Amino acid sequence: MTGRDAARGEKGPTALARWVTGLFAPQVLVIVLPPAVGLVADGWPGAGWGLVASALCGGIPAGVILAGVRSGRLDSHHLVDRASRTRPLLVAVMAVLVTLVLLASLGAPRLLVATVTAMLAALALTVPITLRWKISFHAAVSAGTVVVLAEVLPAAPTLVAGMLIVATVCWARVRLRHHTPAQVAAGAVAGAGSAWAALSAFGL
C-alpha cells in the first residue's frame, strides 16, 4: 500500500488533521492573504496588487516545491523532512524580498506592503531556526495571518476565531506527528510576533 493509499483509508481524527493541514498550508495562506488585504486597503486596484504579491510570494515557492515533489527531491509539499527545507525556503525568502521591493517602489497600498514585510520578518526569524530545529511553518504562517487579518477586519472576533483556527492547525501537525507541541507553539509565537512587529513598524 502506498502512502497515498494509506491516506485515503484514514478516518476520524487523523483524516481531519490531514484535511486541516492541507486547507491551512502555508502556500495556501500566502496566496490567499495578499488579495484580501489589498481589496480591503484599496478596493479592486489593491486586490490587483495583492494578486501580484500572491503570484510572487506564494506562486514561485509553490512551483519550486511542486517540481521538487514530482522529481522526488522533496517528500511532500508540506516539507515534512527538515533537511529538505533549505532550498525551497531560500527561494521563498528571495521571492518575498523581490516582491517587497517591487510593491514599495511602485506605490502599492501601505497595508499590503506591511503584510509582505510581515512575511519577510517571519521568514527571517523561522528559517535560521529550522536549519537546526523543526519549527512549524504551518503554525507560524497561520498565526501571522490572523494578526494581519485582525488589522483589516473587526479585531476581537477575528482574533477569537483566528486563535481557534491556529490551535486546530497546531493540533493537526502534532496529530500527524510532523511536529512536537513545542515546535508548533514556537511557530505560532514566531509568526504572531513577527507580524505584530512588522505592522507596528508601519504604525498600524
- The reported pLDDT for the residue numbered 171 is 97
- The reported pLDDT for the residue numbered 83 is 62
Cα Rg for the chain, rounded, in angstroms? 17
pLDDT tens over the chain, length 204 residues: 334 434 455 678 899 999 999 999 998 999 999 999 999 888 999 899 999 999 998 888 777 767 777 776 766 655 656 566 677 778 888 999 999 999 999 988 999 999 999 999 999 999 899 888 999 999 999 999 999 999 989 999 999 999 999 999 999 999 999 999 999 999 999 999 999 999 999 987
User: CA 169, CA 173: separation in Å to the nearest integer?
Assistant: 6
The amino acid sitting at 32 is V
- The reported pLDDT for the residue numbered 189 is 97
Per DSSP, the residues of the chain read --HHHHHHT--HHHHHHHHHHHHT-HHHHHHHHHHHHHHHHHHHHHHHHHHHHIIIIIIHHHHHHHHHHHHTSSS-TT--SGGG-HHHHHHHHHHHHHHHHHHHHHT--HHHHHHHHHHHHHHHHHHHHHTTS---HHHHHHHHHHHHHHHHS-HHHHHHHHHHHHHHHHHHHHHTTSS-HHHHHHHHHHHHHHHHHHHHHTT-
pLDDT in tens, 89-104: 788 889 999 999 999 9
pLDDT in tens, 33-77: 999 999 988 899 989 999 999 999 888 877 776 777 777 676 665
Q: Closest by alpha carbon to 7, among 71, 88, 59, 78? A: 78
- The reported pLDDT for the residue numbered 5 is 39
